[in-house]
């Protein structure tokens, strides 16, 4: 995974996400989905944070935040901010 530029979550609404997905394997996608479930439970129960690695139109970035929900297309963060799952490279849970 490329070294990400860590950004504050407040910058997410100003980012542009290409519509094409990042190139990951099916195994990586399954791992991301499993970690999303775990991070969502952690966020809702304990307000625990995780680090999401993703790519926007400028390169690889990461954000440390609480995940409130997700669906098949987006990760939902506080205040309705979202990151497309198709642009996620990985998730770190402490």
Q: Global pTM?
A: 0.93
Tally the domains of the chain. 1
For the chain, the C-alpha Rg in angstroms (whole number) is: 12
CA 54 to chain centre: 6
More reliable by pLDDT, 74 or 94: 74
pLDDT given for residue 2 in this prediction = 66
* Separation of alpha carbons 30 and 52, rounded Å: 15
Q: Residue 58 is part of a domain; what is its CATH number?
A: 2.30.30
Structural domain including 11 reads: 5-92
Helical residues (DSSP H) of the chain, grouped into ranges: 26-46
Mean pLDDT of 54-80: 94
pLDDT given for residue 17 in this prediction = 97
């Amino acid at each position: 995974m490329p070294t990400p530029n860590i950004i504050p979550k407040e910058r997410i609404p100003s980012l542009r996400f290409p519509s094409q997905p990042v190139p990951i394997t099916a195994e990586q996608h399954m791992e991301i989905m499993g970690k999303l479930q775990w991070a969502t439970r952690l966020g809702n129960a304990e307000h625990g944070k995780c680090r999401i690695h993703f790519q926007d139109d400028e390169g690889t970035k990461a954000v440390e935040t609480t995940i409130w929900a997700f669906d098949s297309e987006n990760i939902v963060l506080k205040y309705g901010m979202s990151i497309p799952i198709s642009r996620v490279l990985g998730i770190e849970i402490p």
